C-alpha cells in the first residue's frame, strides 16, 4: 500500500529555529487523520511542506508518490485549506466557484453549487460579508469541489462557534465518505472534534512525531493504572510508561502495551482519545520543564 504522505528525517528551519526535526511518518490512503500538538509544534509547517508551499531544510517528503507541488497534475490531486480559511473579500460566492472551475481540471461544478445551496448561502453575496463559519464553509467547498485525493486542513474550525464547527465537520465527513481512497488530514486543538471524524492520529510535539497510528489501535494499547505508591521502575518491563503521577500513598501511570495487562495490585481503565493525547503532551512538557507539573494527573 503506497503511503499518501511519507516523510523521512524531515526538517524545516526558520532562521535559528527548527520547526520540524527528524520527522519520519507514513500516512496510508483512505484515512481521516487528526493532526494534534501544542502551538509551535510544527503542525502548520508539516501541512505547508505537504502542499508544496514550503521546501524542506533536511530530509524528504513525498505526497501521493511525488514531490509536493510537482507540476499541475500533482497540484490537482491535493486540496488545502489554510488556518485563516482565505477567500477573496471582494468576490461573490459565484465568482469563487467560477474561478475554481477555471483553475482545477477535475472541478465538480454541480457538487459545488449543490453544497452552497445546502448551506443556504446566496451565490451573489460577497465573501467579505460572510460570517467566519460561512467563510470556512466556502473555503471547504472550494477545496472539495476540485475533487482532491488528499485534503489538508490547518485548524479550519479554530474560530468557529460549536454549531458552525459541527456543520463544517459534517461536510468534511460527507466528502471523506464519497470515495474510499480519499485521505483527509485535519489539524485541530479540539480533540472532541477529532474523535467525531478521525480514524487515524498523528501527534507532533517538539517538532517530532510522538505518536501515530489508527485511533482504535492506539486506544487499545493504552491504560491508566492506579495502585499503591511505587516508582515507574517497579512496573513490569512489558509496560511502557507514558506519564506518571504520585500523591500520598497512591501512584497513577498511563502505560502502553500490546499485550494484556499483567497481574498486579492496581485498578486499570481504558483512555479515550483526549486522555491519550493529553498524556503524551504532558509528558513532553514535563520533559522540557521538569518542575512544571500543572495539569498532570
Distances from the Cα of 50 to the Cα of 27, 63, 195, 294, angstroms = 12, 6, 23, 34
Pairing of strands 32-36, 267-270: unpaired
C-alpha cell at 193: 472534534
Percent residues over pLDDT 70 in the chain: 96
- Tell me the per-residue pLDDT of 157-169, one tens digit each, with 9 for 90 and over: 777 788 888 888 8
Overall average pLDDT of the 207-227 stretch: 94
Overall average pLDDT of the 240-248 stretch: 93
Is residue 286 predicted with pLDDT exceeding 70? no
Phi first, then psi, for residue 222 (nearest 5°) are: -120, 145
228 and 205 together in one domain: no
- Whether residue 293 is contained in a domain is answered as no
Overall average pLDDT of the 256-269 stretch: 91
- Whether residue 294 is contained in a domain is answered as no
Overall average pLDDT of the 209-222 stretch: 95
Polymer length in residues for the chain:
297
98 and 172 together in one domain: yes
96 and 174 together in one domain: yes
Q: Between the CA atoms of 74, 75, 76 and 77, what dihedral angle is there, to the nearest 10 degrees?
A: 60
Distance CA 93, CA 138 (A): 8
Is residue 55 predicted with pLDDT exceeding 50? yes
pLDDT for position 169: 87
For the whole model, what pTM was predicted?
Answer: 0.89
- Whether residue 295 is contained in a domain is answered as no
283 and 173 together in one domain: no
Distance CA 187, CA 195 (A): 12
Is residue 288 predicted with pLDDT exceeding 80? no
85 pLDDT band, cuts 50/70/90, is confident
Total structural domains within the chain: 2
Is residue 182 predicted with pLDDT exceeding 70? yes
> Which of 185, 213, 241 is the last residue before a domain boundary?
213
pLDDT for position 111: 92
123 and 266 together in one domain: no
Domain containing 10 equals 5-213
Is residue 144 predicted with pLDDT exceeding 70? yes
pLDDT for position 294: 39
55 and 38 together in one domain: yes
134 and 269 together in one domain: no
191 and 266 together in one domain: no
Is residue 297 predicted with pLDDT exceeding 60? no
Compute the mean pLDDT over every residue in the chain, rounded to the nearest whole number.
90
Amino acid at each position: 500500500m503506497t503511503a499518501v504522505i511519507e516523510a523521512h528525517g524531515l526538517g524545516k528551519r526558520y532562521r535559528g529555529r527548527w520547526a520540524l526535526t527528524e520527522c519520519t511518518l507514513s500516512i496510508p490512503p483512505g484515512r481521516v487523520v487528526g493532526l494534534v500538538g501544542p502551538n509551535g509544534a510544527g503542525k502548520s509547517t508539516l501541512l505547508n511542506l505537504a502542499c508544496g508551499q514550503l521546501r524542506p531544510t533536511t530530509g524528504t517528503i513525498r505526497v501521493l508518490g511525488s514531490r509536493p507541488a510537482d507540476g499541475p497534475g500533482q497540484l490537482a490531486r491535493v486540496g488545502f485549506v489554510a488556518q485563516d480559511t482565505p477567500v477573496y473579500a471582494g468576490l461573490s460566492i459565484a465568482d469563487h466557484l467560477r474561478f475554481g472551475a477555471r483553475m482545477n481540471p477535475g472541478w465538480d461544478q454541480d457538487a459545488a453549487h449543490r453544497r452552497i445551496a445546502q448551506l443556504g448561502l446566496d451565490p451573489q453575496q460577497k465573501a467579505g460579508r460572510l460570517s467566519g463559519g460561512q467563510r470556512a464553509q466556502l473555503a471547504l467547498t472550494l477545496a472539495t469541489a476540485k475533487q482532491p485525493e488528499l485534503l489538508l486542513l490547518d485548524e479550519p474550525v479554530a474560530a468557529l462557534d460549536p454549531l458552525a464547527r459541527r456543520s463544517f465537520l459534517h461536510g468534511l465527513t460527507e466528502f471523506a465518505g464519497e470515495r474510499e481512497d480519499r485521505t483527509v488530514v485535519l489539524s485541530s486543538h479540539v480533540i472532541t472534534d477529532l474523535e467525531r471524524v478521525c480514524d487515524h492520529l498523528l501527534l507532533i510535539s517538539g517538532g517530532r512525531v510522538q505518536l501515530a497510528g489508527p485511533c482504535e489501535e492506539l486506544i487499545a494499547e493504552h491504560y491508566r493504572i492506579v495502585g499503591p505508591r511505587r516508582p515507574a521502575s517497579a512496573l513490569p518491563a512489558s509496560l511502557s510508561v507514558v506519564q506518571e503521577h504520585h500523591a500520598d500513598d497512591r501512584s497513577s501511570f498511563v502505560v502502553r502495551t500490546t499485550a494484556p495487562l499483567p497481574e498486579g495490585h492496581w485498578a486499570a481503565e481504558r483512555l479515550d482519545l483526549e486522555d491519550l493525547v493529553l498524556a503524551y503532551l504532558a509528558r513532553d512538557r514535563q520533559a522540557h520543564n521538569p518542575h512544571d507539573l500543572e495539569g498532570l494527573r
